């Protein structure tokens, strides 16, 4: 029988190096993509990148270090209360004086600094789900009353709160990543098929009751129909990516970032990367994200227990699904959802929580079975 030992050893350095190379590249590209917008809004050409470092990178590094050395099994004991706390924060966004809205979404709380609770929920729900599935076991997880109904009940509470904000993009990421974890944790395939059908029907209903979402779907199907209206964003993204060609215009030489392409610091940053650095570098970013996934799945495969395995799979699924949704929207494979590109798009809360989540993955990589 194979001798299996559980002890601390070196972490997965390839995961760590890939992660921080992506983050460093993201900060460099954010400084270029946001320069015009930063100067116009704040009189400081580097406001966004400075803000990302102070409120995203530095807290994120602290969370990364904290979770790197914290015994991850403590998270299992705290999983329920972590989820309750994050859901309570989701409720706070609706309270006047605390909740803050940017654009059409009321997704932030302002307590001296802006914080987006839905980013925290992405992590805490994965932690809760991994703990819950381990405690249930595959037999109960595949049961209708003891598995599917409790899972959908908690997921439904989160989904309703996100719909009310509204933040359909984040809701989609949470649903898809949680379904991956639930599937790996022992879900019944028939139940999964039913959830998939119900989710599709629900999405159609959400599109039908919202003219804005319906217009976005129509733009996705026919981006040429209203290039100066609802189709403006995606057409400008196409123009940015197409004009970059193979080698790009050159770092800092984007034209679309000068008041043409919306959300250049946020969900459109990939289009600026493609415009300035071209197809080759843009492809390397995708390859880097895929390699991060491969290393993460390797860590999950050798995880010391089921909780760790499900936790890593949930975090890696979240990163990869969100990356696919963002990049897919920019190249016309998916409708625009406003979902940021992990580690690269502007958003302090997103970067900090992602780094904390990756700290958990690296922690588990130090305890993989040998």
**Total structural domains in the chain?**
1
Q: Is the peptide bond before 122 cis (omega within 30 degrees of 0)?
A: no
Which spans in the chain are helix H? Answer: 13-33, 35-42, 47-52, 58-69, 73-92, 117-141, 149-164, 168-184, 189-208, 211-221, 232-244, 269-301, 306-330, 348-365
Facing residues of 108 across strands?
100
Residues 141, 135 contacting (CB under 8 angstroms): no
Lowest mean pLDDT among 94-108, 227-241, 285-299, 353-367: 94-108
Percentage of the residues of the chain whose pLDDT score is greater than 70: 90
Element (H, E) at 105: strand 105-110
Domain membership flag for residue 345: yes
Domain membership flag for residue 37: yes
Q: Is the pLDDT of residue 147 over 80?
A: no
pLDDT single digits (tens) 61-99: 999 999 999 999 999 999 999 999 999 988 888 887 777
Average pLDDT of 93-122? 77
- Residue 215, judged by CB atoms within 10 A of its CB (0-12, 13-18, 19+), counts as middle
In the prediction, which pLDDT does 180 show? 93
Residues 246, 252 contacting (CB under 8 angstroms): no
Supply the range of the domain harboring residue 288: 13-365
Give residue 318's Cα distance to chain centre. 6
Is beta strand 99-102 parallel, antiparallel or unpaired with respect to 114-115?
Answer: unpaired
Which spans in 222-268 are helix H? Answer: 232-244
pLDDT single digits (tens) 157-191: 998 898 888 788 888 899 999 999 999 988 888 88
Which tokens is 288 given?
Answer: 């880097």
SS3 label, residue 188: coil
Average pLDDT of 200-204? 80
Domain membership flag for residue 105: yes
Lowest mean pLDDT among 165-174, 202-211, 287-296: 202-211
Q: Region of 43 please: left (phi>0), alpha (psi -120 to 50) or beta.
A: left
Average pLDDT of 102-123? 78
Facing residues of 114 across strands?
110
SS3 label, residue 102: strand
CA distance linking residue 88 with residue 84, whole number of Å: 6
Q: Look up residue 340 and give its DSSP letter.
A: P
Lowest mean pLDDT among 165-179, 200-214, 257-271, 348-362: 200-214
Higher pLDDT, 116 or 361: 361
In the prediction, which pLDDT does 3 show? 42
CA distance linking residue 260 with residue 234, whole number of Å: 11
Which tokens is 321 given?
Answer: 């699904």
In the prediction, which pLDDT does 166 show? 79
Higher pLDDT, 1 or 136: 136
Residues 338, 267 contacting (CB under 8 angstroms): yes
Domain membership flag for residue 209: yes
CB neighbours of 62 closer than 8 A, spacing ≥ 6?
A: none
Average predicted confidence (pLDDT) for the chain: 87
Q: Of 57, 47, 50, 41, give the one whose Cα is nearest residue 348.
A: 57
| Most confident region among 142-156, 171-185, 212-226 by mean pLDDT | 171-185
Q: What are phi and psi of 302, to 5 degrees?
A: -105, 15
Domain membership flag for residue 4: no
**Residue located via tokens 């999983």:** 79
Domain membership flag for residue 370: no
Supply the Cα-derived Rg of the chain in whole angstroms: 21
Domain membership flag for residue 293: yes
Give this prediction's pTM: 0.91
Higher pLDDT, 202 or 330: 330
Higher pLDDT, 244 or 187: 244
Give residue 81's Cα distance to chain centre. 22
Q: Is the pLDDT of residue 16 over 90?
A: yes
Residues 341, 33 contacting (CB under 8 angstroms): no
| Most confident region among 215-229, 308-322, 329-343 by mean pLDDT | 308-322
Percentage of the residues of the chain whose pLDDT score is greater than 90: 48
In the prediction, which pLDDT does 70 show? 92
Which tokens is 55 given?
Answer: 């409120």
Domain membership flag for residue 98: yes
């Amino acid at each position: 029988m194979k001798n299996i030992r559980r002890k601390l050893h070196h972490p997965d350095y390839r995961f760590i190096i890939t992660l921080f190379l992506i983050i460093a590249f993201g900060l460099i590209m954010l400084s270029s993509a946001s320069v015009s917008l930063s100067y116009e809004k704040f009189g400081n050409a580097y406001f966004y990148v400075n803000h990302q470092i102070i409120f995203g990178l530095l807290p994120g590094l602290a969370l990364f270090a904290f979770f790197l050395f914290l015994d991850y099994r403590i998270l299992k004991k705290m999983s329920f209360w972590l989820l309750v706390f994050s859901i309570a924060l989701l409720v706070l966004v609706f309270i006047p004086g605390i909740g803050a809205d940017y654009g059409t979404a009321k997704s932030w709380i302002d307590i001296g600094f802006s914080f987006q609770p839905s980013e925290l929920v992405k992590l805490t729900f994965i932690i809760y789900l991994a703990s819950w599935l381990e405690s249930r076991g595959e037999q109960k997880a595949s049961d209708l009353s003891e598995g599917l109904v409790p899972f959908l009940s908690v997921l439904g509470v989160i989904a309703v709160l996100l719909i009310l904000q509204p933040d359909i993009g984040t809701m989609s990421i949470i649903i898809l990543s949680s379904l991956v974890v639930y599937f790996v944790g022992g879900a019944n395939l028939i139940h999964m098929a039913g959830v998939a059908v119900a989710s599709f029907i629900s999405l159609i209903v959400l599109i039908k009751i919202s003219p804005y979402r319906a217009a976005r779907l129509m733009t996705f199907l026919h981006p040429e129909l209203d290039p100066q209206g609802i189709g403006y964003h995606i057409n400008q993204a196409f123009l940015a990516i197409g004009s970059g060609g193979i080698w790009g215009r050159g770092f800092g030489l984007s034209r679309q970032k000068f008041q043409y392409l919306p959300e250049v610091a946020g969900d459109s940053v990939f289009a600026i990367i493609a415009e300035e650095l071209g197809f080759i570098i843009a492809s390397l970013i995708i390859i880097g994200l895929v390699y991060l996934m491969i290393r993460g799945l390797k860590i999950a495969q050798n995880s010391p227990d089921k909780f760790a395995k499900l936790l890593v799979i949930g975090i890696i699924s979240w990163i990869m699904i969100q990356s696919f949704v963002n990049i897919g929207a920019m190249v016309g494979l998916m409708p625009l959802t406003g979902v940021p590109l992990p580690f690269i798009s502007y958003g302090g809360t997103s970067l900090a929580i992602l780094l904390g989540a990756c700290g958990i993955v690296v922690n588990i990589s130090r305890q993989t079975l040998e």
